[in-house]
Chain A
């Protein structure tokens, strides 16, 4: 009964979305306030209905209702409750429902927090949002119904992909979708602006919090995915340039560029059509990522069932949304008049450089991801574009980006002098150069590039904090605007990510050893004893567990227990890494194949600064949230009357 209610709620939601996607648009063009007001009511109703549907599916999972096909395929009664819940979005249909839910919730958020928006703009934004929602709801109902029943109901389900049964991955999709779908709001704002033919400082100020919120969630989502890959795949790496990872990185890069270019629109009334384009692209790249992952045109480690019919639907949808947006852009954007003039060396100039580099990075990732597909179709040749390509293209492009990142905030608007800015950064310059020298002489003299990259990491941290030094000196640190503070945190956090990535990939120590219980091996100053091997039983798996006693200088230091789990329902093995961290490095152990006669393959890694990668990513998002808390206070401020006074920054 409850699944049918959910199904029905979904159908109603589609109907409401159709209304929300059309009537407010008519109202906005006719100036009909009643039709425009419909947008808000419809947005709230739609969110309620989709929430109801999502709740119904969750209920089916929690109670293990095996008369629902989706539950049979992706759940099992022996699964822990957390994974019963995360199983809701651990499959194609459920994840699309989660996508639709987040989309509807964002629509409701615009309806609630957008009270200060002009009526026409708000109605148009809500209508565009609803039209996107129509696409997803129709996709769900017509090709991927999560509520389909099965008769007779089987006694138990097939279980969830074991790789997904992990706390890190349980929350990875919701965060990632919050990011992807969050950019639908900026997309809707961009379309609305093109329809109105008006992009100004007020528009930029309205759109930026949404872009920032989406960006923060996407940052967290990507970080969580990378962390998961680090400890579950057991290869010691944290980023593999897999198409799925790339799919999430592209909208992140475009979104980052958008955050920065929107500042120029807000403060200087320039870069308008460019910013609108970025707003369209951030969401388009999110959709492109979804298409690439779900359609099966590229191979990847991800586990979604791939189906060409669904691929066609998403492609058609992608064409409708992105193509429609870009066609409108080609038609209307040339009429957007640019405002402020500026010199190449200026805050605007620095932000343009930032945008150029970020977009080049995004284009590089796009090309590297799609190149195998293009080549295969054109010539029949199969290639795989992997880390060598990205390391040779992506990484060098980061150098000028990072170099300029700390200088930009010290440049004034319109025109600036480079030399005074560099003088204010002299401490950062000296410290980073010293870091390079230290890295070359004390850590690893063979890799100059790693030492340089390490120097860039230090430069980002010290250079970003330099923005605070004046305030510390003058005692005005407490009155610093939250947006500035957020920027400093996010920029410095990037430095931590760089330091962690460089140190982990360049200066790690690894050892692979076949061991039997009682064997001892020396590893990077530690003595590691394989104390014993045990068989353990989890709720839905059996595992081999190694107990490694690690000691330093004869004194016990820590005990690591890596496992190999065999999920009995799916007959799949998953390695469970054991990691001991002290904040400065990870002691990382995985258990490989083995047997009592020949011993087990144990791999040990010492990954210096590895925790900083995720600490940095989390701080990066935190910076965004800090900045967001500032914007919310000021969100009521903008007004469209040209005579109104802009608050001084």
Chain B
């Protein structure tokens, strides 16, 4: 028994080295980031509303039969500023349902930010401690999820969405889901 304890470090190393060798020979590309949530029901959502006086944000809001875009943002994040006009356009021109979640952001900071730039969100939640972001597999802000009418995540964007994302994937998704 005691002996086993002394062999344990060696066994741990062997296990790790096996993974490393596998990783080196598998030809995978660590830089391509996928997502654990794509193709599955959207992780749990139960957040207080960002805007005072609104009902809290819950799972039911993602299962209305209509496609929903969920965007995690924060007033302190520059890339969020960059992608913001695209959401405004999605809301105004396409009438998309966009749910905004202020991540690790104080209400007093997020609300003035939205007021200044325009508020494209139909519903907005507040994830002050970042736990919901953890459930959603968030690595930072901004990140955006496309969710179909049944609550399944169909796409996950890390980093700001771009004009190209809008034209090539987001708009087709909204149109395809509308049919």
Q: Which one, B78, B131, B158, contacts A603 given CB within 8 A?
A: B78
B77 to chain A, nearest CB (A): 9
Verify A377–B19 contact, CB threshold 8 A. Answer: yes
Interface size on B (CB < 8 Å)? Answer: 39
Given the contacts A299-B30, A382-B35, A512-B81, A326 and B24 also touching, CB distance less than 8 Å: no
Verify A329–B16 contact, CB threshold 8 A. Answer: no
Is residue B167 contacting chain A, with contact meaning CB distance below 8 A? no
Verify B133–A388 contact, CB threshold 8 A. Answer: yes
In the bound complex, residues from chain A placing their C-beta under 8 Å from that of B3 are 330, 334
State the majority secondary structure of interface residues on A: helix
Is residue B60 contacting chain A, with contact meaning CB distance below 8 A? no
Interface 1/0s, chain A 292-311, versus B by CB < 8 A? Answer: 00011111000000001001
Is residue A412 contacting chain B, with contact meaning CB distance below 8 A? no
* Segment 1-60 of B: residues with Cβ below 8 Å from A: 2-3, 6-7, 9-10, 13-14, 16-17, 19-26, 28, 30-36
Given the contacts A315-B17, A383-B36, A388-B134, A329 and B30 also touching, CB distance less than 8 Å: no
Verify B34–A512 contact, CB threshold 8 A. Answer: no
Q: Tell me which of A68-76, A316-324, A479-487, A632-640 binds B.
A: A316-324
Verify B76–A512 contact, CB threshold 8 A. Answer: yes
B147 to chain A, nearest CB (A): 19
Is residue A592 contacting chain B, with contact meaning CB distance below 8 A? yes
Given the contacts A323-B13, A389-B134, A512-B76, A376 and B6 also touching, CB distance less than 8 Å: no
Given the contacts A323-B17, A512-B81, A308 and B24 also touching, CB distance less than 8 Å: yes
State the majority secondary structure of interface residues on B: helix
Q: How many A-B residue pairs have CB under 8 A?
A: 96
Verify B24–A512 contact, CB threshold 8 A. Answer: no
In the bound complex, residues from chain A placing their C-beta under 8 Å from that of B33 are 382, 384
Is residue A277 contacting chain B, with contact meaning CB distance below 8 A? yes
A312 nearest in chain B by CB position: B24
Is residue A552 contacting chain B, with contact meaning CB distance below 8 A? no
B104 to chain A, nearest CB (A): 9
Interface 1/0s, chain A 376-395, versus B by CB < 8 A? Answer: 11001111101011001000
In the bound complex, residues from chain B placing their C-beta under 8 Å from that of A296 are 30
A402 to B5, CA, bound (A): 29
In the bound complex, residues from chain B placing their C-beta under 8 Å from that of A318 are 17
Please provide the 5 A-B residue pairs with the shortest distance between their CB atoms, ordered closest to farther: A384-B139, A382-B34, A326-B10, A330-B7, A381-B36
Residues of chain B touching chain A, judged by Cβ–Cβ distance below 8 Å, are 2-3, 6-7, 9-10, 13-14, 16-17, 19-26, 28, 30-36, 75-76, 78, 81, 130-131, 133-134, 137-140, 158
Sample of 17 more A-B contacts, CB < 8 Å, known A291-B20, A295-B24, A315-B24:
A277-B9, A280-B9, A281-B9, A299-B30, A308-B24, A329-B9, A333-B6, A372-B30, A373-B30, A377-B19, A380-B34, A381-B36, A382-B35, A384-B137, A386-B139, A386-B140, A592-B78
